[in-house]
Amino acid sequence: MAETWQTAITSIQPNEVRVRGYDIAELMGSVSFGTAVYLILRGELPDEKTARLMDAILVSSIDHGATPPSVLAARTVASTGASLSQSVATGINSINRFHGGAIQDCAAQLARIIARAEGGNLVQAAAAELADMKSRGQRMSGFGHRVHTTDPRTARLFELAQQAGVAGEHVACARAVETAFADAGKPLPINVDGAIGAILADMGFDPEVMNGLFMIARTPGLVAHVAEEQACQKPMRKVVPGAHEYDGPPPRRS
């Protein structure tokens, strides 16, 4: 039959489900969810430190409060009486070029700077690329943040990437861009999106899939926000951006 089509992700046999060749029943209890995410997207199991890094990346992006458009759109749809899946799907539909997209944009821009350096000085290549981008009216993705000037998630991610032996030329290039910005007199720190983009690129992730990783990371946050909206708010309320207050547990340590 001409319409047979191939898939290399998961095989289903009676009493056996295998992801990329590995028996799910064997993975259960042995590996973290982050490890399984790595496996299903990359086709191979990560080593232990890379697995830990993968979980950390997903944890870093699990939620960012009630500010992002994905949360506001999901809550607005939930307020119309929508189902959970319909509201969460709306949140996913909001993850696009300008929301979450900085991860893969930054990865692609770092790759261009690396190519431009031709093995030479990354800071010079970064400065030249930034100048070119400025002349074209473009801006570097993954640097600077409205709220966070020194995002502790960024430092932690680089530390874990270092420990996992994953930090390579994209991470080095991200630091070179930071230096180039500082040299030009307008220090712009790498933000969490930029750090993730650099690390994922060094891990060998395809840029097209990076926004997908952000969707995976953010889905739990979206579920939590929609469940909260359905439980605590009245239908058809005005979901005013920025008018929210946090009333959850105070700061605490694990």
- Binders of a copy of itself in range 19-58 (CB under 8 A): 19-34, 36-37, 40-41, 43, 45, 52-56, 58
Q: Which of residues 167-226 bind a copy of itself (CB under 8 A)?
A: 206, 208-209, 211-213, 215-217, 219-221, 223-226
Pairing assessment for the beta strands 22-23 and 10-13 based on DSSP bridges: unpaired
Distance CA 101, CA 107 (A): 10
CB of 185 to a copy of itself, least distance (A): 23
Q: How far is the CB of 36 from a copy of itself (least distance, A)?
A: 5
Stretch that binds a copy of itself, among 115-123, 127-135, 172-180, 234-242 (CB under 8 A): 234-242
Provide the 10 A C-beta neighbour count for residue 21.
Answer: 12
Q: Using the rule CB under 8 A, is 86 a contact of a copy of itself?
A: yes
Q: Which residues of 88-108 are buried (b: 16+ CB within 10 A; e: fewer)?
A: bebbbebbeeebbbbbbbbbe
User: Nearest approach, Cβ of 116 to a copy of itself (angstroms)?
Assistant: 26
Structure tokens at 95: 């993850």
Q: Which is nearer to a copy of itself, 165 or 235 (CB)?
A: 235
Choose between 124 and 230: whose C-beta lies nearer to a copy of itself: 230
Q: What is the per-residue burial (b if ≥16 Cβ within 10 Å, else e) of 145-157?
A: beeeeebebbeeb
